[in-house]
Structure 1
Amino acid sequence: MHIKEKTLDDLLNRVFTELLKQPFDIVPTKGASSEIFGCLIELQNPRARLSITETKGKAFSSLGELLWYLSKTNALKYIKYYIPQYVKSSDDNETIYGGYGPRLFKKDGHINQVENVIAILRKKPSSRRAVIQLFDAKDLIDQHKDIPCTTTLQFTIRKDKLIMMTSMRSNDAFLGLSHDIFCFTMLQEIIATTLGIEIGSYYHTVGSLHLYKKNKKNAEKYLSEGTQSTHYQMPKMPLINPWNSLEKIISIEKLISEEKFDQINTNELEPYWQDLVSLLKIHTLLKRNKYTQIEEIKKEINNSIYNSFIDQRVKTKQKIRRL
Structure 2
Amino acid sequence: MLTNPTFRSVEGAYLALLRLATEEHEHHIAARGNDAREVIGVGFRLPDPRQRLPYLSQRKANPIFQYAEALWYLAGRRDLEMISYYAPTMRSSSSDGVNLGGSAYGHTLFTPAEGDTVSRFDRVLGLLRTETDSKRGYLPVFSAAELAISDNPDMACLAGLHLLARGGRLHMVCSMRANDLDCGLLSDVFSFTMIQEYAAIQLGLELGTYTHFIGSAHVNDRNAARVKRVLNEADCRRAPVHFQFPAMPDNTTATTVADVLEHEEALRRNEIRYSTQLIQKLDMDPYWQQAVLLFEVYRQIQHDEAVAVDPDILAALHPGLRWLVGHRWTACATALGGGAQ
* CA displacement 1:233-257 (0-9 Å, x = unmatched): 3101112243332121011111110
2:272 maps to which of 254, 261, 267: 261
Stretch moving more, 286-295 or 253-262:
286-295
Contact 2:64-2:295 at 8 Å conserved across structures: yes
1:124 aligns with 2:127: no
Distance (whole Å) between structure 1 residues aligned to residue 17 and residue 11 of structure 2:
10
* CA displacement 1:111-132 (0-9 Å, x = unmatched): 4112112211111241111111
Stretch moving more, 24-33 or 87-96:
24-33
Q: Corresponding residue for 2:249?
A: 238
Letter paired with 1:248:
D
Give the match's secondary structure for 2:329: helix
Shift of 1:52: 1.3
Letter paired with 2:202:
T
Distance (whole Å) between structure 2 residues aligned to residue 173 and residue 219 of structure 1:
10
Letter paired with 2:262:
S
Q: Corresponding residue for 1:89?
A: 93
Stretch moving more, 220-229 or 279-288:
220-229
Q: Where in structure 2 are the equivalents of 1:238-317 lying within 5 Å?
A: 238-262=249-273, 267-288=282-303, 289-301=305-317, 303-315=318-330
Contact 1:291-1:314 at 8 Å conserved across structures: no
Distance 1:39 1:274, change over 3 A: same
Q: Corresponding residue for 1:37?
A: 40
Q: Corresponding residue for 2:22?
A: 20
Letter paired with 1:20:
T
Shift of 1:279: 0.9
1:60 aligns with 2:64: yes
Give the match's secondary structure for 1:214: helix
Give the match's secondary structure for 1:4: coil
Contact 1:56-1:222 at 8 Å conserved across structures: no
Q: Corresponding residue for 1:137?
A: 144
Unaligned runs of 5+ in 1: none
* CA displacement 1:66-103 (0-9 Å, x = unmatched): 12212322112211111111012111222212122321
- Give the TM-score of the pair, scaled to structure 2: 0.87
Distance (whole Å) between structure 1 residues aligned to residue 51 and residue 106 of structure 2:
24
1:165 aligns with 2:173: yes
Distance 1:229 1:192, change over 3 A: farther
Distance 1:46 1:312, change over 3 A: same
Distance 1:229 1:294, change over 3 A: same
Letter paired with 1:83:
A
Q: Where in structure 2 are the equivalents of 1:183-222 lying within 5 Å?
A: 183-222=191-230
Distance (whole Å) between structure 1 residues aligned to residue 88 and residue 26 of structure 2:
30
Q: Corresponding residue for 1:102?
A: 107
Stretch moving more, 127-136 or 63-72:
63-72
* CA displacement 1:278-321 (0-9 Å, x = unmatched): 111112212232255532322443x33321122222338889xx
Stretch moving more, 238-247 or 169-178:
238-247
Distance 1:262 1:279, change over 3 A: closer
Stretch moving more, 113-122 or 201-210:
113-122
Distance (whole Å) between structure 2 residues aligned to residue 262 and residue 204 of structure 1:
39
1:151 aligns with 2:159: yes
What is the root-mean-square deviation in Å for CA atoms of aligned residues?
2.2
Shift of 1:23: 6.1
Contact 1:171-1:209 at 8 Å conserved across structures: yes
Distance (whole Å) between structure 2 residues aligned to residue 316 and residue 298 of structure 1:
11
Letter paired with 1:304:
P
Letter paired with 1:195:
L
Shift of 1:149: 0.6
Unaligned runs of 5+ in 2: 335-341
Distance 1:125 1:59, change over 3 A: farther
Distance (whole Å) between structure 2 residues aligned to residue 189 and residue 254 of structure 1:
24
How many residue pairs get aligned? The number is 318
